[in-house]
Structure 1
């Protein structure tokens, strides 16, 4: 959400056009939609036991589909950052039993104690406590706290930061592309007018 807002603001400040976003062409968009739908399975896992049983595998599959969809659009500005972020998050999940380690200390710092209790009760199956993890993947876990007065307190991973950067660059790039398209048309019409 923050990446979207920042991208829109920077795109506008740099003279971009909002209409450029309506002209975005994404290759393999069906793959990306399927990936996002798979990430929603935890919300229905209680009603469908099969999703609860295989939710770890389903989540990893959604990440792989995201990587595939993003790889099909690497020519677009910001997609490289998306790809790096998703890969970093996928690596830490694969090395930790299909779960993302989360720092409880950082959650407390961000004022998100209810999330700690939810993880301990097993209500957030994709997450586990960072405490006790000693190998290198702890540096890719969610441990960076963004506390109040920030309006949306949270904790993020290094991968999340890259994903947010990708959103900012993509939105700004598409808005800028619209601006350059308009300029090129004006130059073309101006040149023809002199003939």
Structure 2
């Protein structure tokens, strides 16, 4: 979902007159924290094939979210990132309280997965777990099924929705506007007494 939001943001921003050069010049301090977090998340399952230790995967997942939360917090004055922060915090809480992100079987069934497929996939996925009757904050877990024609079908959480919306709004707004024409939580000298809504 987040990747789809990012791609859509670039497309919409370009249609609105933005340029991809602005992505290269993106002013995002501590962006290296995002890179480290993504590397961790993308390699957790691979690492666990070498070191089969579920608790380590859980800790690495929490660390990756803390890095993302830190990166967004340091840039919280940037437009729309508060939505991303809310989403990250929601996902972090659900994962922390359940030792992983619970996935709804009901949502999986809507996407065509039978019970065996559902359990087999979770057995080799160290980031997600089965949703049980004892699952905490179950309404913020992965309960939202998105099927085709959505470009990246899957089961997503409320936190994922917040992250995706915030990412979309932030990126497309950034590549479309620059300088005084992009809101950054401040009024420019020429905008005193008047707010211009960019989107």
**Cα displacement (A) at 1:178:** 3.8
From the superposition, tell whether residues 54 and 134 of structure 1 become closer, same or farther in structure 2 (CA, over 3 Å): closer
The two structures, once aligned, show a CA RMSD in angstroms of 2.1
Q: Is the partner of 1:143 in helix, strand or coil?
A: strand
Residues 3, 112 of structure 1: alpha-carbon distance in 2 compared, 3 angstrom cutoff:
farther
1:73 to 60, 72, 75: 75
Deviation at 1:179, TM superposition (A): 8.3
- Structure 1 alignment gaps of length 5 or more: 182-195
1:143 is aligned to: 143
Q: TM-score, normalised by structure 1?
A: 0.80
Deviations 1:96-148 (A, max 9, x none): 1x2111011211212345454221xx21122122232364x011011111123
**How far off is 1:22 after superposition?**
1.4
TM-score where L is the length of structure 2: 0.79
Query: Is 1:126 aligned with 2:154?
Result: no
Gaps of 5+ in 2: 182-199
Q: Name the residue aligned to 2:185.
A: none
Q: In the alignment, which residue of structure 2 is the partner of 1:184?
A: none
Pick the structure with greater CA Rg.
1
State the shift of 1:5 in Å.
Answer: 2.1
CA distance in 2, matches of 1:124, 1:115: 11
Farther-moved stretch of structure 1 (51-60 vs 87-96): 51-60
